[in-house]
Structure 1
């Protein structure tokens, strides 16, 4: 895994946009997806951060979420839909948030002023490299669709039962585990969620999904040369990055297009550098913030 430490805004932009030229398309199309973190924490899912047996917890969480959420959302008998919906609303899942946009990743790396005394990190994953490790049937599906990522409907085509039979968590998970056994190793998929609301759209969001929810993603990435780059964002550079993102209109107001996002942006934007944060914000932990937005 390649580690890069930048020292300026211009160097940061250059690193994040490296390898963007696609000679076949004759267009600038980055092969990377991005994830920003305010501190250099490991790439763990919200499900892995819970204590207990990961596989059992996942089953309980999906069942309970679907049971209580059906009154508020359109019913879908597709496991991948419910995982994406749950992740979007803070339910612990095996999914991990990413974005097609490096600037959105920079926003999340600089959104929390409580972390401005700590180095942040921007993860860059090369989907072409990770997709090369997919089992044959999944790889062929992407090629057929001319895509680098799956949708919930695409994955549903591999479902072992008809949708009319209802959601079967065990059946879909067993299918995933069978694909893993047949390929001989865990694999990583990228899932583009339905446009559940404008937040998904504005953040250019997508999710990663490891076939084994217990496996460590960083360890998995370390097996594949060129799969990942870890860009370290020095604490002393965060204020400049934040101010430049604000001027570029990459803020809570645009990424969370509701009154909550507007209020969050106004509260941060009009607080002068060095002012003490309100007590209620000081009490909020980074984990709380991740659960609200990531």
Structure 2
């Protein structure tokens, strides 16, 4: 994976749809990282997830008012603000996923994933997280600025053994998981191209954190060139 044109070609071959399914894209800045939710990574896997998440829910409401209606949406907000949830987040926009694959660990190869979910959380106001025993995809309403700006999508993993794996989707006759390596020496070039297309920390994190991260990344890019 070397150019924006290649990314666009992939999105045409594995298209996404914000409302009725399609492909989920996820970028990871190190190629060796597995598709594992943060809750199942060290050190978080040793914590009491239910207790910590309950405390997060109780305390987050005093920090900022979020308009979420159910626990699926609540966990999506927690995920986008760094809490170690049982979600993997992605985007329905391949360019945003590519940005995440490139914006950290500039000296290491990244990886871009395209995943085609076959099971969805379709009634979030009637269901609970505990109703799901296997991976389920979730496409939330635009309940926060970050989720809206990133065209955020999620997969819920009820336990550490539920991992995304390739399968064959019989109705459409295609695999459900693809991945591509983004070489480290292409990351900066892709970041510059993405910036020209309006994909950067300023736009996908539309707050002061995103603005600050944008200029930090600029400094890192120039330091990497010297």
TM-score range with shorter-chain normalisation? 0.7 to 0.9
TM-score normalised over the length of structure 2: 0.81
Counterpart among 160, 184, 207 of residue 154 in structure 2: 207
Aligned residues of 2:38 and 2:44 also touching (Cα < 8 A): no
- Residue matched to 2:124: 155
| 2:13 corresponds to 1:69 | no
Counterpart among 224, 231, 242 of residue 180 in structure 2: 231
| 2:86 corresponds to 1:94 | yes
CA distance in 1, matches of 2:43, 2:215: 36
CA distance in 1, matches of 2:61, 2:95: 34
Query: Structure 1 residues 19, 70: closer, same or farther in 2, change over 3 A?
Result: closer
Gaps of 5+ in 2: 170-174
Gaps of 5+ in 1: 1-5, 23-28, 132-148, 160-171, 181-186, 278-294
- Residue matched to 2:163: 217
Aligned-pair Cα RMSD in Å: 3.0
Counterpart among 41, 45, 64 of residue 49 in structure 1: 41
Secondary structure of the equivalent of 1:230?
strand
CA distance in 2, matches of 1:249, 1:101: 12
Q: Deviations over 1:61-117 (max 9, x none)?
A: 2221122223343696733233223212211110111100000001101112xx222
Q: Deviations over 1:180-215 (max 9, x none)?
A: 4xxxxxx321112343322111100011112x3211
Q: How many residue pairs are counted as aligned between the two chains?
A: 217
1:272, CA displacement in angstroms? 5.9
**Structure 1 or 2: more helix by fraction:** 1
Aligned residues of 1:103 and 1:250 also touching (Cα < 8 A): yes
Aligned residues of 1:190 and 1:208 also touching (Cα < 8 A): yes
Q: Deviations over 1:6-45 (max 9, x none)?
A: 35443343234324499xxxxxx99311001111111111
1:240, CA displacement in angstroms? 1.4
| 2:5 corresponds to 1:10 | yes
1:244, CA displacement in angstroms? 0.5
Query: Structure 1 residues 20, 63: closer, same or farther in 2, change over 3 A?
Result: closer
